[in-house]
Chains A and B, each alone.
Chain A
Amino acid sequence: MSNINRYQDITFLIVDDFAEFRTSLTNMLISLGANQIDTAVNAEKAIELYQQKHHQIILCDYNLGEASLDGQQLLEELNFRETLRKDTIFIMVTAENSIEMVTGAIEFKPDNYLTKPFTKQSLKTRLDKIYEKKQFLMPVLNQLNKQDFAQAIAESNHLMQTNRSYLASCLQIKGDCLLRLGQFKSAAQLYHSVNKQRPLLWSLIGFAKAQMGLGLYQQAIRYFEKITETNQYVVNAFDLQAECLLAIGETEQAHQILEKAVKVSSKSLSRERQYAEISFNTGHYSISVQHYKKVLQLSKNTLNSTEDDILKLLNVIAISFTEINSSQQHKLKNEFLYYYKQYKQSFKHDIQYSLALEISYCIYLHIQSQEDELINRLSSISARLLSLSECRSYLKEQLNFIATYFPIILINAPTLAEFCTKHQLISRQTDPIHANHLYRNSLEYIDKKDYLKALKLLISASHFSPKNMNIALILMTTLIKLEMQGKQIPNAMQLIENCVRTLKNIDPADQRFTLYRANLKLIRELLIINENREHNSGQNNSN
């Protein structure tokens, strides 16, 4: 197609909160030959329009006003919902792009940044270049649309052989696919070869992520430090560095790093949640309260589940009573009762969640020294707990919390204490360094395809570091692989449930999310297989 009428049949979506810019940009596009142009005033409207039409080119302003998500968040949201087609051209319009380029998820970058001011001619030059690049990459993008990452790698290899001009883009896509497939060794090799020539932001982060996957956290930390030394706005590097520090048991340092990260950008739900949790674990209770509130605020109008966050917020408010003066206590008391009553009302039909909320209330009663009411509550909770056939994970976590932080409460409630012992809800001794040692050994067995030996090590590793996402992810993957082969692993479903618990809040921008989600799909298949098996054996028995 000639350049002149290239844009005639292309659908455009302009996203800008300024009417003047929408008009100006629309006129520019019309003069370039475009005639299918939609406009949106905010992110919400843009998502709605894109879901209907899947426009081929999106021109989106970074700033969309106070009430809307910003351009980067819109791009991420479209990715999370898996509605953004990989062949759609997404151009971010910015006033300056140096900071905007790096504060969002590195995995979800727009195809290009158009810096204001620009003219019709410079817009056309830019559009032509990106259009040609996307056309060249089309075979790879088609595979990415199908989420066939192995085939996408094959197509990238083919393109790299035929034409060197988009070599960097092909390498970047290939590295990303390798991380998504959990092939950390190959990914590390690829990124290392790029870094040897010239260390770039994407190849440095990619290399560090591959090191994380291999359990080499110290090495990964060195790379993240290298990145943030030259650019303190690469907030994703701080997040990952904190995860590495946690994985080697350096909780206080992880807290300090995340503190820097939330200062640069406080728009990420997973970052706020992580910071709130670490603040709690390191005894920074008032910071923790503040950031759990932010989590609840950020997850409004999203599909994110906040059941755990609500309980944690209540617990941390209750715990922070112990360290503040009486005037602040009054304020906190009101705050606690406000949240407690509000959620008690919203979840009144959910027996297990109501119980979980009441456990937080017991902590409150204990701290307020309202002993009589506490004892009444506890016996009522115990009675209701005993009538449950199974216990949901957040409820277990609540009991675990009491057993760890307020064992004295359990002394006055022997039935409850017995329940906790019976369900092994006693705090475990963690040892992240040993866990990581076991994890690295397990990877060697996986390389040799000795999955049973790997599994043994991974189960112990997860026991010593239950919150480590890499361990949970590889444990889950190995378990599923063995189950799929028809091996009967004792407690497999319980183990998988624990992994899901560790991984459920993983940032969708993280490549590991892909493997996690693929695993979830396989679990559903497994459950169906098992059901059929039971069904068949049932039939055989009756025969």
Chain B
Amino acid sequence: MDKTTQIDFASVLASSVHDMKNSLCLLIQSIDNLSEQAKALNADSELAKLHYEASRLNTNLLQLLSLYRAEKDQLPINIDEYHILDIAEEIITQNQLYLDSRKIQVEIDIEPDLTWYLDLDLISNLLNDVFINAMRYTNNKIFIQAALNKNQLVVTVEDDGSGYTENMLKQTELNMHEINLTSGHTGLGLFFAKLIARSHQNNNLTGQVELKNGGRLGGSQFILTLP
């Protein structure tokens, strides 16, 4: 490509993602409004599905943009102090429609004054992706816990589904460059989670992601540790 036709792909990608997010924002808000009217018609479960898929699209878009920026060494990290309970509650609020429609119970165990240092955008997006995954595979229970352990924040998202597949568990053991990114969203999601965790550093410690089965509800268990 000669110089005059070269484009700054990061900005092009960012501006199209922003535009797509505008559409998604209006889409989700319309679905929300419709669902209030649709309860009487028993159509709310269909709408809940629409809402769920739109959220997934949004998460995917942001991950794509972040991954591209990371590849180009342009991923900005803004660490600040946040209340962890606020983040968890916001994720639940965003997915309330789907939770109600599938009658999923969510239990939270986070002290109201627990605060920690993180990039709000990136961590919210990561946890939202994990939560969406849990909603899809759970029977009817999700448990979110956060607490400090050895001066690191540990957030756990668990469900009572059938747990992660063997293949998925194996992938978490791998180094980032060995993760299979062509096997659908699972690989990409995991890669993203690891990347975001890794970009949180403090006192020579690096953020970690761990996938397990079992835990309190017997299904999948996602553990994020931030120094």
**Which chain A residues have a beta carbon within 8 Å of chain B's beta carbons?**
18, 20-21, 24, 27-28, 63, 95-99, 101-102, 113, 115-122, 125-126, 129, 164-165, 168, 198, 200-202, 230-233
Contact = CB atoms under 8 A, between A and B. Distances in A.
A116 B22 contact: yes
A18 B22 contact: yes
B116 to A, nearest CB: 9
Contact of A201 (B27, B54, B78, B115): B78
B76 A233 contact: yes
A198 B21 contact: no
Contact of B122 (A28, A98, A119, A233): A98
Contact of B22 (A95, A122, A201, A230): A95
Contacts of B65: 96
B181 interface: no
Given A125-B90, A165-B113, A102 B76 contact: yes
B77 A230 contact: yes
Contacts of A96: 14, 17-18, 21, 62, 65, 121
Given A24-B29, A122-B93, A117 B113 contact: no
A27 B29 CA distance: 10
A98 B28 CA distance: 22
Contacts of A165: 113
Interface of B: 14, 17-18, 21-22, 24-29, 32-33, 54-55, 58, 62, 65, 74, 76-81, 86, 89-90, 93-94, 96, 113, 115, 117, 119-122, 124, 202
B29 A117 contact: yes
B121 A125 contact: no
A201 B26 contact: no
Contact of B121 (A28, A97, A200, A231): A97
Contacts, number: 92
Nearest to A97: B121
A361 B10 CA distance: 45
B122 A122 contact: no
B94 to A, nearest CB: 5
Contacts of B202: 198
Given A95-B21, A168-B81, A231-B78, A120 B90 contact: no
A32 to B, nearest CB: 13
Contacts of A129: 86
Contacts of B89: 125
Nearest to B90: A122
B113 A200 contact: no
Given A117-B29, A121-B96, A201 B79 contact: yes
Contacts of B117: 198, 200
B37 to A, nearest CB: 13
A18 B25 CA distance: 12
A20 B32 contact: no
Given A96-B18, A200-B117, 14 more contacts: A20-B26, A21-B25, A28-B29, A95-B18, A96-B17, A96-B65, A97-B121, A101-B78, A115-B124, A116-B24, A116-B25, A118-B94, A119-B32, A232-B76
B227 to A, nearest CB: 10
B26 A21 contact: yes
Nearest to B65: A96
The 6 closest A-B pairs by CB, nearest first: A95-B18, A117-B25, A116-B25, A95-B21, A117-B28, A231-B76
A24 B33 CA distance: 10
Given A95-B21, A200-B117, A119 B77 contact: no
B30 to A, nearest CB: 8
Contacts of B74: 232
B80 A200 contact: yes
A201 B80 contact: yes
A201 B118 CA distance: 11
A102 B77 CA distance: 10
A111 B33 CA distance: 27
A119 B80 contact: no
